Structure 1
């Protein structure tokens, strides 16, 4: 490699380092600072792996005003991240309605790619409606109706394990839990199709496995993993959307979560958002 190329690379690295230090500069948190809360300390370790200088302590005045304890503050580029630990901090995290849990999870989990017409249009109103529908689906009346089909799913899945030999409990139990989740949040058409459930599971595995420290810290770079997540997100949307079309065209009414959303005349993005199994 020529000396000119080496010099250019060194200059670029220095500029990148300077920019990162500038973005991670200590800052004072006020009551008006938008916060992105992460309930697990591992996320702080993730950020520290990028730059130890990114961490700073929350000011005493802000801590007193917010009545938080065991909090650590760090800067994630243009976002302020508060990592909580301890009983009082967890209570503040779950009880404070001014904090945006969805945004915090989206930032530190890498978030699913923003696909136009699929995820990019999930504004605050739609997200709030999705959360409202999820609460409705967890009510006793709805869950009681699912007991019989869930037990049937359990028997069917466990019968495939056989009565002898060895199995990986982490993999098999996860498959069973995923089947139950599909039954609870999606449609009967999807839950009854073992091959389709397996395909959905593989797509969500892609979304989980392709989230790395690099993709979280630099989500705008076109890594191959981001492309795979983009394609997986698009296919999940297509599967759920196709099921909705089939239900609407058939005119059949079924006792499942999808029918509840259709009867409420929710738009397609809300239906897909509620059926998101991740």
Structure 2
């Protein structure tokens, strides 16, 4: 009682205080009004674009939130905006973020060649599902980009390919055995975006993650589920309002924590048992990297691998299934390799493929490589993203325009890959585009971005091509295959992709491959 002596407790009742608002002193009203004005200014204020930034495209700009069509109708929004400007570049806002969409040959060169535009920070902010750059490494002259590049380059050395090659082929063949067994319960059909997608995940983890994930099927399935759930939880609201704890953001935190916990359990088990596998995780641990950084690296590597190889492995097989000329040519290519390397009449095609060297895998399947290249061209939808981390405005080539300081830049993939002046009839899947007599991807500089461009080549390209050769050759050697709907109706061609999606993706309308064992 002593503590409340002298106080009128009724006077502290918040309801009574609100009810008597007409008795509030003027200073209280001024304070409330000032706070409200400050909040509204903070909510509505956006930094002004520099005078030499590309023109703001106002018809699609909404107060506070900016250009929501960037999330709901990306390809149409960016291509329409580009057509309204002479240089093809235009500005828009996402919340308070200033974004410049770059177009055309000059803009493309500036976008991909600039040292001052960070790829990792651009994707971490504008994509909203890619792993974030660790806070202590932001704006430090692309420190994280450099570390990631050095690390992935070390892992992509030939000796690591040699070490992992036989396990990769063995993993693939065992996975195809399981896929065929499951197909017998499904009318002889497989879903390439399930069965083959899982193989890509397994091989990628073997190369850039812990071997425990591959050796324990339940752990592989669990982490793949966590990874896919994390990737699906893209939150446009978090891009516009970075402070907002959205439901999708909460799901990303949840599945990110699950992945962290699984990785942490593997690390603790290794410390307890003294087990030291010769794998990527141990390489990172021995280098003194912390678990958060290691998880960010593994997630970033898987993110790139699954969005490219994981998706395009399925599309490649579907395109081959519906293009008789290339189906026949790739089958003959695989059969020719098997025939050339046969040392005994008792050897099966899978035995022969398992005995190939890295050099043979990399040099003896050029048609599979062409098919993959063309699949990537068609399926690479969405926009590339960068952040200006230079501390100043960055010129866009010689256009006289700039990407604002601390602003972002985007480049629509279709501006290049669906350009009929470079790729005639661009919607058609045609690996012959890249043969020497046509060489459509060499018509002008920076004409193909499927394996990265300029200062950001795909550092995992060699591994991606190797794993795709392994998967495709093992599949083609074992099966004849045709494309169908889930209820068994033949399809003359795959359903087209939704080009307004953010990135390469599984088909929105399901398709299946009907497989039958080949007879030799």
Same fold judged by TM-score > 0.5? Answer: yes
In 1, the alpha carbon distance for the partners of 2:254 and 2:149 equals 25
Alignment of 1:1-278 (within 5 A): 19-20=43-44, 22-23=45-46, 26-28=49-51, 45-46=69-70, 70-111=88-129, 123=138, 124=140, 125=143, 128-162=146-180, 164=184, 165-276=188-299, 277-278=302-303
CA offsets 1:166-192 (integer angstroms, 9 cap, x no match): 122222222111111111111111121
SS of 1:245's equivalent in the other structure is helix
Query: Which deviates further from its counterpart, 249-258 or 127-136?
Result: 127-136
How many residues are treated as equivalent by the alignment? 237
In 2, the alpha carbon distance for the partners of 1:29 and 1:239 equals 49
Query: Conserved in 2, the CA contact under 8 Å of 1:186 and 1:256?
Result: yes
In 2, the alpha carbon distance for the partners of 1:16 and 1:168 equals 51
TM superposition shift of 1:239: 1.2
In 2, the alpha carbon distance for the partners of 1:172 and 1:211 equals 24
In 1, the alpha carbon distance for the partners of 2:68 and 2:293 equals 32
SS of 1:162's equivalent in the other structure is helix
TM superposition shift of 1:95: 2.3
In 1, the alpha carbon distance for the partners of 2:179 and 2:99 equals 44
SS of 1:83's equivalent in the other structure is strand
Q: TM-score, normalised by structure 2?
A: 0.40
In 2, the alpha carbon distance for the partners of 1:119 and 1:18 equals 27
Query: Conserved in 1, the CA contact under 8 Å of 2:89 and 2:103?
Result: yes
The answer for unaligned runs of 5 or more in structure 2 is 1-35, 54-66, 304-520
Decide which structure has greater helix share.
Answer: 1
Could you say which residue in structure 2 is the equivalent of 1:6? none
In 1, the alpha carbon distance for the partners of 2:71 and 2:40 equals 16
Query: Conserved in 2, the CA contact under 8 Å of 1:110 and 1:219?
Result: no
Q: Rg larger in 1 or in 2? A: 2
In 2, the alpha carbon distance for the partners of 1:249 and 1:126 equals 30
Q: Larger relative contact order (C-alpha < 8 A, sep ≥ 6)?
A: 2
TM superposition shift of 1:264: 2.1
Q: TM-score, normalised by structure 1?
A: 0.70
In 1, the alpha carbon distance for the partners of 2:108 and 2:198 equals 30
Report the aligned-residue RMSD: 3.6
The answer for unaligned runs of 5 or more in structure 1 is 1-11, 31-42, 61-68
Query: Conserved in 2, the CA contact under 8 Å of 1:113 and 1:233?
Result: no
In 2, the alpha carbon distance for the partners of 1:26 and 1:49 equals 24
In 2, the alpha carbon distance for the partners of 1:168 and 1:17 equals 52
Query: Conserved in 1, the CA contact under 8 Å of 2:92 and 2:99?
Result: yes
